[in-house]
Amino acid sequence: MPDLFGYHFVQVGQTVEQGAELADFSRISHRVIIDVDSKEPTAGSLASCADALPILANSVDVLVLPHTLEFCPNPQGILREAERVLIGEGHLLILGFNPWSLYGMWRRALAWRGAAPWSGRFFSPHRLRDWLGVLGLVVERVVRVSFRPPVSHAGVHRRLEVMERLGGHFWPVCGNAYGILACKRVMVARPVRLHLRRQRRAPVGSVVEPSANGFKSRDLPKES
């Protein structure tokens, strides 16, 4: 977050009810947090649907989606909005849960309860890479974290710390959560100078064009 610069920062979705937000880690001075869970803005600066942002096109330098795709009914529409509001060479940061992980297994077992985060739809980084590629967003980096099961007991969680060290080396694709950093690339058209080959005209009768070797038309035999 501190390495992403620009003039305007937008975070779509809140990560905590009270306390530090991801926007607090950004060096960009103008920061906006959009609340997508309620019709009235609370801690956020705006209240809006995630797939219909009230933001001018090509105006945002950094856009962050903290687990926004998992809990909205139109994730592809959210990505289309992200591409619309980002400026050329602007950055999109997506945080999500990995379906091919221990969290993914817990979700399959506990989704029926309807409680977060198990009630959301988990999308793999591979699928998001395909969706972003269709929109012209290039993935620059994928970071995977968290390899322990979601246990609530502090003692058990502490004893499983070895899984964090081993997971990053032996099964990194099975991280419970991931961050995807993508950039909106803009293709610049460069003028191409066409070099037309000068074609020689065919000789007509006894007249030809002068050549570099000094061969002239008078050297040809005259017609009878």
- Whether 87 shows a pLDDT value over 80: the answer reads yes
pLDDT greater at residue 12 or residue 17 = 12
pLDDT in tens, 136-156: 999 999 999 999 988 888 888
- Contact, 176 vs 103, CB < 8 A? yes
Confidence of residue 132 (pLDDT cuts 50, 70, 90): very high
β-sheet bridge partners, residue 144: 178
Mean of the per-residue pLDDT values of the chain: 82
Environment class of 33 (CB within 10 Å of its CB; exposed 0-12, middle 13-18, buried 19+):
buried
- Contact, 15 vs 22, CB < 8 A? yes
Specify the range with the lowest mean pLDDT, choosing from 86-100, 177-191, 206-220.
206-220
pLDDT of res. 157? 82
Q: Where are the domains of the chain?
A: 8-184
CA-CA-CA-CA torsion sign (51, 90, 12, 106): positive
- Whether 43 shows a pLDDT value over 60: the answer reads no
The answer to whether the peptide bond before residue 210 is cis (omega within 30 degrees of 0) is no
- Whether 203 shows a pLDDT value over 70: the answer reads no
pLDDT greater at residue 108 or residue 40 = 108
Residue 83: phi and psi, rounded to 5, are -65, -35
Rg (C-alpha) for the chain, rounded Å, is 30
User: Which fold would CATH assign to domain 8-184?
Assistant: Rossmann fold (3.40.50)
Confidence of residue 2 (pLDDT cuts 50, 70, 90): confident
pLDDT of res. 218? 54
pLDDT greater at residue 20 or residue 176 = 176
Confidence of residue 25 (pLDDT cuts 50, 70, 90): confident
- Whether 199 shows a pLDDT value over 80: the answer reads no
Task: Give the C-alpha separation, 109 to 86, whole Å.
Answer: 37
Environment class of 206 (CB within 10 Å of its CB; exposed 0-12, middle 13-18, buried 19+):
exposed
